[in-house]
Amino acid sequence: MDNALRSEQGPVLVTGGAGFIGSALVRRLVADGLSVVNVDKLTYAGNLDSLGDVVRSPNYNFFHADITDAATLASIFRGCSPQLVFHLAAESHVDRSIDAPHEFVQTNVVGTVQLLEAARRHFTSLDESGRRRFRFIHVSTDEVFGSLGGTGCFDVSTPYAPRSPYAASKAASDHFARAWMSTYDLPVIVTNCSNNYGPFQFPEKLIPLMILAGLRRDRMPLYGDGSNVRDWIFVDDHVSGLIAAAERGAPGETYLFGGDEEHTNLEVVRLVCELLDELAPDGKPHEQLIHFVADRPGHDHRYAIDSRSARDSLQWRPTIGFRDGLQATLAWYMEHREWVERVQSGAYHGERLGLSS
């Protein structure tokens, strides 16, 4: 099979490339010499600051666009003629989806369908060689599978059982992506990942929220009793998986990326506190700042990913352990306070989300 990431074969289109995972992917692709077209609506969680020096690269182009805008998408595909699409644009915060489910349906479902249609029309315009190389990588989440008990892991055969508006919208988008493969022969690959963390993550997510609260010596709010379990993957390891899926994945297949790092939320926050005590000591244990709050509605108990199929098929594996990744993440936030101030810009200041009703 042709390598989908040979630079001479055309640009790579990334939706949501100003977001957390998307910007990490764009930075990697440009560093690898690829020509990248970034399409992003620049919502509160998308910020061009996350791209660093990439924005000045001759291999990078940006379109400020909404993926629900079919005419604009068609124009972008005609203008850049991508060989590969990484679809990451999404509303992605569970708590926000509780308050505004329609926004999640609009972006994650309607927007995905509009993008699939634009990609399909582009795909049918390609010659045989171009169609053989083209791939549509649909990036999703493990939350589509619902909640696990105390044992077992999600794998590629796990049935869907979403339990939040966010998870339901992503599950629907996964099904539409696969339907475009089955119905129109669009070469789609679906990926699902566990919880990502690392530099440039918007402060509403657990790890940066706790890091920043700890640095300010504010209360560190933790849902319920903190016993909910998540599998954590460093964002650069996830990006490596997405690139491996594009290079070596088979259309119609699903690949799951996890870090094999299961921890309760309380364990995560305690480790953040331990690292804060080491890297930003102020004479008082940061663990004193942990503050338990009422659990959110429909809070899934446990997620865990069985990524053996991705490891075997794609020759991929995570390389960054959780403690090392968390320490690097904390150090990055300590060194980039100005980035946090710019991305928050009055829209979000660490308040609890998802319980306004």
Among 48, 49, 37, 45, smallest CA distance to 78 is for 37
Cα 179–181–185 angle (5° rounding)? 135
163 vs 160, 170, 229, CA distance in Å?
10, 11, 16
- Rounded distance between C-alpha atoms, residue 213 and residue 221, angstroms: 9
State yes or no: is 143 an active-site residue: yes
Residue 14 bridge partners (DSSP): 38, 86
- Rounded distance between C-alpha atoms, residue 125 and residue 118, angstroms: 11
The DSSP output letter for 202 is -
**70-80 and 111-125 helices, crossing angle to 10°:** 30
224 vs 266, 289, 296, CA distance in Å?
10, 15, 8
- Rounded distance between C-alpha atoms, residue 211 and residue 8, angstroms: 42
Encoded amino acid at 291, one letter = H
- Rounded distance between C-alpha atoms, residue 101 and residue 119, angstroms: 26
State yes or no: is 142 an active-site residue: yes
197 vs 55, 233, 325, CA distance in Å?
23, 7, 8
Of 166, 223, 255, 333, the catalytic one is: 166
Residue 221 bridge partners (DSSP): 291
Of 40, 95, 142, 261, the catalytic one is: 142
Other Cβ atoms closer than 10 A to 168: 21
Residues in the chain: 357
Backbone phi, psi, residue 14, to 5°: -120, 120
Of 95, 143, 174, 260, the catalytic one is: 143
User: Which residues are tagged catalytic?
Assistant: 142-143, 166
